[in-house]
Structure 1
Amino acid sequence: MSRIGAWLRGSAPAPSQTSSPAASQTDLRARETASLVDALIATSLIMNDDIDGAEERLRKGDSAFHLLGMGICTFMRSILGFEKSIMAETLSRLNDCETRSLSEMKKAQKEAEAAGKAEDRIYPPGSEYALVIAYANLMSAVVAVMNESLTEGLKGFYKLRKAFITLDGLVQAETAYLKRKGLHSDSSSDGTDTDLEFVDADEAHSGTQTPLDYGGHLTTGPDAAEKELSKLSLNSNDTSKLPSTKGSSEVFTTPADIFIHSGANMAYGVLLTLLTMVPPAFSRLLSIIGFRGDRERGLQLLWQSSGFNNVNGAVASLMLLSYYHGLLSAADILPFDNDSEKSTTVGYPKAKCIALLAQMRSRYPDSGLWRFEEGRVQANSKDLRGALEILKSNTESKMRQVTAINNFEMSMNSMFIHDYPDMRDNFLRCIELNDWSPTLYYYIAGCAELENYRNAFHSKAEESQIQLHKKKADELFRKGPTLAGKKRFLAKPMPFELFVVRKMQKWEERSKALGIDLVDAIGPSPSEEMTYLWNGMKKMQPSELEFSNKVLSWDRLTAPKEARKKIEAELDEEAVRNVCRAAVARSLGNIDEARELLDSVLAIDRLAFRGPTKDDYALPAANYEMAVLAWIEIQRPEVRRGDDKGDEEEWLREKTEECQAWLDKVANWGAFTLDARIGMRVQTGMDTVSWYKKQYGWASA
């Protein structure tokens, strides 16, 4: 912070400077710089779980940068709380910020015109305010889309488009400047090297460098990284696994240029990356109105921004870790482990992510965000119990939002290891911590209590205990639908809430038709179904997977014999069960068993899944699972069947096309329950297959 302090101390004009217009202009720029740096320092407190401290400091300034910081504070409070009043306050603050920034941007542009002499700038005059406007538009768009109004949602997409155009313009201006100076961004195809390469630059660049030093304990490889994660030190200075910023610090020397470079790269990187994660059908719609994602470029920009020691770098780091540990962890068709060094854009660069995480922990030691990410690393390494240990020690944050996401992760991991009492209690606590979807929380808590009931029933526990769990499961299941529809996305009910309502309707109709209690009318484990939909099988140890197999047995049902036969005969119930069992089998390495189970689902006529209470997602999910099996065969030649021997490359190409064909089939399936959730896995798979084809030169395939 010493250089930042120097900027702040240097903001006051010397007496001799106040006598001329040029000096006054210098003073003005110094004050603007001081405001920018002060606002960035204040806003960065959010990343250390001190949102109150950030607001307190930001209130002392009145610049556009301080207004942006205040908008970010309320935005952070609103995105998980979903409270109407906070959303309204957020939009109000962001509107004020946009109005003020627009005025300042026009002022800067006029001053540049009046000066006459064109300066050799990296960015056009007023670009720092253009970036602030883009930030405000991005956050306004998110809040608008979260709103229950379709009209507000459409306004949000308009703001999103404005931000997209502005950010693209800033990045293009930067690229053009570097080209003029004989420089180019030497980002490799996987985003692992973000240094700038100097190629016969026509002039030297000097100036104060931004503080870009790293202080985290960095490991030396994937295996070492995994072993050392729980012992992250805050004192080491090994920077070998993080993006270099040496070249950047020689080009981007002023606080304004650093702010624009790190901020535009971060925000544009987020947009380009997220646009590639939307389901295929929605992606096509967005492309019509001018939105096209680019995962490779987006991730490169985020890695570049992550190298800067400011709030932009922190947010870029958070987005990278959220992408790799969150969105990508739900995917199955990913580059092979031995390709990790050349596939960062579609694969998981574990050592690099752990190095980045270590740096963020050292920079923001009081934040639970980074501890939460540590837990996700453990879970993705198939150490769910180790993950829970970390998360349980991270339950009290000064930011309620951090506590909420930490608790949700605990809830999921409890479900994955079949700890049903903890699963129930953790999901019920989710209801207390945030208002995202009480319907879903009550439903999954009910799933946990159902398993407690089934355990007690089949172990012939005391009747009082059996009835206690049965009654509680019934209460929790019935509570969820009464709260459904209160949270909406673009004026439509949330997909998981529709899923819950349809499930309950199905069970209630069956309960009446068979003359049994609702809890006894439930079919194959809905807990395991939820585990599949959140891809928990990917994080399980073999013993946990074997437990899932037992839980998916028809013998777990509590319905009388005749009623049970009728439940087992329902085709969509059998399909859901077999899709889950197939995912367990492939996770255990039993490819032939998985294929046999999926073939039984694919043999079912599509018409059997039509109806208001049918689980229609099972059939497209089975098609997706077939794509996963084809990809596993590509990864593991030893699983090839005898008749598959022959020319290896030709076989690989055929299998790749098979995988692609299954994915294309799901992508073009049309609407079905939870199509967005499965569509995200499909989209990631398609990106991976496309990357793989390029590696082999099969681009025309």
Structure 2
Amino acid sequence: MSLIVSKNEDDKENKFEDAYEIIPVASTMNLMSSLEECTTGLYLFLNNKFSDAINLIHPWSHNSPYHALIYDILMTVKAILTFEPQDIQIGMTTAKNALKTCNRFRMKSRMTSLSRIVSKQGIQAVKEEELHAEVCYAECLILKSAVTFIQDDSLLGFLKSGINIGLSYQIYKDSQQVLTKIPKYQSKANKHLVGGIKFGLGAFNLMLSLVPPKILKILSIVGYFGDREVGLALLHESASENHINNILSAFTLLFYYNYIYIAFGVEKGYNSAIEGLFLTYLQKFPNCVILIFFHARFRMLTGHFEFAQLKLRKCIFIQNEWKQIHHLCYWELMWCHIFLQEWKEAYYYASLLSQHSRWSKAIYTYSKAIILALHPTDSVSEDMNTLFLKVDSLRIKILGTSVPIEKFVAEKGERYATTSGWFTAQPLLEFLYAWSGFRVMSKRLDLISKWLSIIDKGEDILKGNPSKEYGTDDISLLHLLKGLCLKHLGKYWRAEQYFNHVIQKEKLLKYDHYLVPYTHYELGILYYLKGDYINAIRSLDNIKNYKDYAMEARLQFRAHIALEQISREK
């Protein structure tokens, strides 16, 4: 491979984005032309031309590291979206081939790291193409780990993924050291190298910072720790710059702020800078279904559920090639209607998911049952109790064990199908809490008040006719949720009272032992919001005293992140 850069490169690059539809598959390939053609493929993808993107990238995927990487990304995304065995197998084959392709372009016959070679022999000892192949190889290792994880649910598959991730991170760190030796006036391809390393190190720092120390010890094969602020800063830099990995950096940030942050982060403050970055990409690719989907999610998190529904329906309307993206929209539409208490529409989207999506039949079936509990209708032929009992048979396994949330809803399904005396909204209220629904609604205090009214009615009903077996558990659940709603409404003193009611009933709980550690978490966050860091830490530390309860790992993640945030602000 030789590097060829024309004197008109700047003009070419400025016009390149608008010309993506007319650039044919190349007959020759060097580093810059491979970067240009792969960028074209990404632009096609971002304009919903998925088959065109694949057809453009595939011919060179065995002879160019960047083509191998981008083709690997496309096939991995498809495998995760469809969850079809055939697509997962194609994703694995593609990942293996991509690693072979990238490896052919890496430096040969080296017994030590690139950074040590460069330190001893100078930067001239490494070809530019070899550095790019190194970073592409690291990214392909991550992709292979992702496919391995969904293909092989054994402990061996998990270990293989961990080993690949550890090797990938080491390559990124090694490549970063090499960058310090490269002159600033290096070729135009250098920005893609820098951007790729920022993406990799940013993603790793963010990912590892979310993992509690206890779990990191179990994953000692990785052998690293992460800094969240460093990770977010690197990803934001990478997403703001012009290189081939910028869109992946942007998608990583969007996923973090729209999902991970909502599920695990603390509630004080929000980084609005990502929204400005996002709008820049949306202006550049106004019809990209992935960006429109995130636009809808942004609006959900600001309480504009009706506007979010319009955007989600647009996502469904503008492309039919990858229908699995429709399933993402169905899920969010179901939640929008649940938040607004529109049961008929919520049931419709839960039904679509149970019919067409492979991700979690157990969750979708349970969703239908809990919605039917609130909206029984003659037009629906399905029976609520039959659906509840069916959930357990639909569970899947990952790493040889049940998915925690599926195990949780299966146990709840059996309980609600075989007992009476529970409040009709109770299963849905609990499900809302499990999926951070109250936090998603937190910008709409009118909706929080409506749900609080439902909780109040449920409390009156359960107190009037308590269940001998589940009475304490049921009331404790409602007290936890009541405290949560009052917290969002700013009524901290009353919220604290209800949280303490749950903790005081700890020894009387028979089944829902998760309620007490989760209440300690909510009480800790309440103290944090009040600025009482001493009591916040005490409440969060109490969580360590509990084991073997539902959704335990999720709470460990949340507590770890909250404690880290508090220690940073003290």
TM class by shorter-chain length? 0.7 to 0.9
Q: Does 1:431 align with 2:354?
A: yes
CA 1:5/1:670 → structure 2, altered by over 3 Å: closer, same or farther? farther
Shift of 1:590: 1.6
Query: 1:196-207, aligned counterparts within 5 Å?
Result: 205-206=184-185
Q: Does 1:53 align with 2:58?
A: no
Residue in 1 that maps onto 2:188 = 254
Residue in 2 that maps onto 1:81 = 82
Residue in 1 that maps onto 2:445 = 542
Residue in 1 that maps onto 2:157 = 152
Residue in 1 that maps onto 2:202 = 269
Residue in 1 that maps onto 2:419 = 510
CA 1:573/1:404 → structure 2, altered by over 3 Å: closer, same or farther? same
Query: 1:289-688, aligned counterparts within 5 Å?
Result: 289-331=222-264, 333-336=266-269, 348-350=270-272, 352-396=273-317, 397=319, 398-453=321-376, 465=377, 472-484=383-395, 487-510=396-419, 525-540=426-441, 541-553=444-456, 555=458, 564-566=465-467, 570-606=471-507, 608-609=508-509, 614-634=511-531, 655-667=532-544, 669-688=546-565
Q: Is the 8 A contact 1:424 1:445 kept in 2?
A: yes
CA 1:673/1:143 → structure 2, altered by over 3 Å: closer, same or farther? same
Q: Given residue 140 of structure 1, which amino acid in structure 2 is its aligned partner?
A: K
- Residues 358-401 of structure 1: CA distance to partner in whole angstroms, max 9, x if unpaired? 11112222211111111122222122233223223322334334
Shift of 1:502: 0.9
Q: Is the 8 A contact 1:272 1:293 kept in 2?
A: yes
Q: Is the 8 A contact 1:146 1:488 kept in 2?
A: no
Q: Is the 8 A contact 1:446 1:477 kept in 2?
A: yes
Larger radius of gyration: 1
CA 1:266/1:89 → structure 2, altered by over 3 Å: closer, same or farther? same
SS in 1 for 2:209: coil
Structure 2: distance between partners of 1:59 and 1:125: 20
SS in 1 for 2:133: helix
Shift of 1:139: 0.8
Shift of 1:52: 1.1
Q: Is the 8 A contact 2:385 2:416 kept in 1?
A: no
Structure 1: distance between partners of 2:246 and 2:164: 23
Q: What runs of 5+ residues in structure 1 fail to find an aligned partner?
A: 10-28, 182-204, 207-251, 337-347, 454-464, 512-519, 635-654, 694-701
Residue in 2 that maps onto 1:689 = 566
- Residues 283-341 of structure 1: CA distance to partner in whole angstroms, max 9, x if unpaired? 443357403122111111101110233441011011111111221123563444xxxxx
Shift of 1:152: 1.4
Q: Is the 8 A contact 2:163 2:222 kept in 1?
A: no
- Residues 242-266 of structure 1: CA distance to partner in whole angstroms, max 9, x if unpaired? xxxxxxxxxx6422x2222111211
Q: Does 1:94 align with 2:95?
A: yes
Q: Is the 8 A contact 1:552 1:581 kept in 2?
A: yes
Q: Given residue 524 of structure 2, which amino acid in structure 1 is its aligned partner?
A: A
Structure 2: distance between partners of 1:3 and 1:660: 56
Q: Is the 8 A contact 2:81 2:324 kept in 1?
A: yes
Q: Given residue 324 of structure 1, which amino acid in structure 2 is its aligned partner?
A: Y
Structure 2: distance between partners of 1:617 and 1:43: 44
Q: Given residue 566 of structure 1, which amino acid in structure 2 is its aligned partner?
A: S
Q: Is the 8 A contact 2:205 2:231 kept in 1?
A: yes
Structure 2: distance between partners of 1:360 and 1:382: 22
- Once superposed, what is the RMSD of the aligned Cα atoms? 3.3
CA 1:121/1:420 → structure 2, altered by over 3 Å: closer, same or farther? farther
Q: Is the 8 A contact 1:108 1:126 kept in 2?
A: no
Q: Is the 8 A contact 1:321 1:373 kept in 2?
A: yes
Q: Is the 8 A contact 1:583 1:594 kept in 2?
A: yes
Shift of 1:78: 0.9
Shift of 1:686: 2.0
Q: Is the 8 A contact 1:262 1:305 kept in 2?
A: yes
Q: Does 1:171 align with 2:187?
A: no
CA 1:284/1:470 → structure 2, altered by over 3 Å: closer, same or farther? farther
Structure 1: distance between partners of 2:305 and 2:496: 27
Structure 2: distance between partners of 1:277 and 1:545: 28
Structure 2: distance between partners of 1:69 and 1:172: 25
CA 1:371/1:497 → structure 2, altered by over 3 Å: closer, same or farther? same
Structure 2: distance between partners of 1:77 and 1:395: 17
Q: Is the 8 A contact 1:122 1:173 kept in 2?
A: no
CA 1:289/1:67 → structure 2, altered by over 3 Å: closer, same or farther? closer
- Residues 61-100 of structure 1: CA distance to partner in whole angstroms, max 9, x if unpaired? 2323222222212101111222222112111111111112
Structure 1: distance between partners of 2:466 and 2:529: 35
Query: 1:103-122, aligned counterparts within 5 Å?
Result: 103-106=104-107, 118-119=122-123
CA 1:659/1:480 → structure 2, altered by over 3 Å: closer, same or farther? same
Structure 2 length normalisation: TM-score?
0.86
Shift of 1:430: 2.2
Q: Is the 8 A contact 1:75 1:90 kept in 2?
A: yes
CA 1:294/1:406 → structure 2, altered by over 3 Å: closer, same or farther? same
Q: What percentage of residue pairs aligned between the two structures are identical?
A: 18
CA 1:258/1:604 → structure 2, altered by over 3 Å: closer, same or farther? same
CA 1:332/1:40 → structure 2, altered by over 3 Å: closer, same or farther? closer
Structure 1 length normalisation: TM-score?
0.71
CA 1:385/1:365 → structure 2, altered by over 3 Å: closer, same or farther? closer
Q: Is the 8 A contact 2:68 2:102 kept in 1?
A: no
Q: Does 1:141 align with 2:145?
A: yes
CA 1:85/1:618 → structure 2, altered by over 3 Å: closer, same or farther? same
Shift of 1:138: 0.2
SS in 2 for 1:576: helix
Structure 2: distance between partners of 1:290 and 1:539: 34
Q: Given residue 527 of structure 2, which amino acid in structure 1 is its aligned partner?
A: A
Q: Given residue 453 of structure 2, which amino acid in structure 1 is its aligned partner?
A: K
Higher relative contact order at CA 8 Å, sep ≥6: structure 1 or structure 2?
Answer: 1
Q: Is the 8 A contact 2:240 2:277 kept in 1?
A: no
CA 1:451/1:311 → structure 2, altered by over 3 Å: closer, same or farther? farther
Structure 1: distance between partners of 2:475 and 2:380: 26
CA 1:601/1:291 → structure 2, altered by over 3 Å: closer, same or farther? same
Query: 1:7-18, aligned counterparts within 5 Å?
Result: none
Q: Is the 8 A contact 1:572 1:609 kept in 2?
A: yes
- Paired residues in the alignment total 540
CA 1:569/1:156 → structure 2, altered by over 3 Å: closer, same or farther? closer
Structure 1: distance between partners of 2:138 and 2:57: 20
